[in-house]
Amino acid sequence: MSQEPGTNGRTEQAFSQAERDAVYRAIFERRDVRSQFRADPLSEEVLLRLLTAAHHAPSVGFMQPWDFIVIDDPELKRAVRALYGEANERAARHYDGDRGTLYRQLKLEGILDSPINLVVTCDRTRGGPHVLGRDSSIDMDLFSTCLAVQNLWLAARAEGVGVGWVSILDERALARLLQLPESVVPVAYLCLGYVTEFLPEPELQAKGWRQRLPLADLLHSNGWATALKPGKDADTGSKR
């Protein structure tokens, strides 16, 4: 479709300015929440909206490999928290000196603090042995499941709901605890709940663990060897 004069590069399919601003706000203000959860329960209506957003993620071959396990049982949450404790102790051994001290000061989960825990799984057999688009890369089902997680995360930010991804868990131990079928693997263990605040910048950045890399350092043109120089308005590594 040809571009109409005066549209500043937009077509009639583009969202309005206010709608675009809302999308980008959700992206830039999304946070991995660990310490700011409130005890307020999530309504079934809000949770269903978030799960619906997740279920509308794109997936290779339209395989939709995800399932969602909602956890609100305190005893089960404590069992998962114990798995986290074991895995976190192993992870802490990788760091020593000041780095090790900082690692041990970081709060990296909100399993017991958040009213809802959500496990997003991937059924690696869904769609049968030959899924359209998966022949060259067998892990496209896992990548697709991650897109469902991102959909949920952005929708949650729009709803004022915090999400924290607990990645420090032994996948096999978690699968046994949740009695997952052999073909199903846990991809994301998420903590969901309303929060006291969304931090102005990622917590790991604020506490000095890592900084956001400048976008300009990550752009290549027609292969790896040639850098692509962005325009002056490009994000060069903001604190958002």
Q: What is the reported pLDDT for 8?
A: 64
Can you tell me the distance from the alpha carbon of 59 to that of 69, in angstroms, rounded to the nearest whole number?
Answer: 19
Query: Token pair 């978690």 is at which residue?
Result: 174
**Topology at the third CATH level for domain 29-195:** NADH Oxidase (3.40.109)
CA pair distance 184, 123, nearest whole angstrom: 4
- Antiparallel, parallel or unpaired: β 184-194 and 116-123: antiparallel
Contact indicator for 238, 218 with CB cutoff of 8 Å: no
Closest CA to 168 of 26, 34, 10: 34
- Work out the burial of residue 112: count CB atoms within 10 Å of its CB; fewer than 13 is exposed, 13-18 middle, 19 or more buried: middle
Task: Tell me what pLDDT residue 233 has.
Answer: 59
Predicted TM-score (pTM) of this structure: 0.92
Domain boundaries, the chain: 29-195, 212-240
pLDDT digit string (tens) for the chain, length 240 residues: 344 444 566 789 999 999 999 999 999 999 999 999 999 999 999 999 999 999 999 999 999 999 999 999 999 999 999 999 999 999 999 999 999 999 999 999 999 999 999 999 999 999 999 999 999 999 999 999 999 999 999 999 999 999 999 999 999 999 999 999 999 999 999 999 999 999 999 999 999 999 999 999 999 999 999 999 887 656 645 445
- Would you say 210 and 204 are in contact if contact means Cβ atoms under 8 Å apart? yes
Sheet with 116-123, edge to edge strand ranges: 66-71, 116-123, 184-194, 161-165
209 closest CA partner among 57, 135, 112, 105: 105
pLDDT at 231: 76
Angle, nearest 10°, between helix axes 97-105 and 74-92?
170
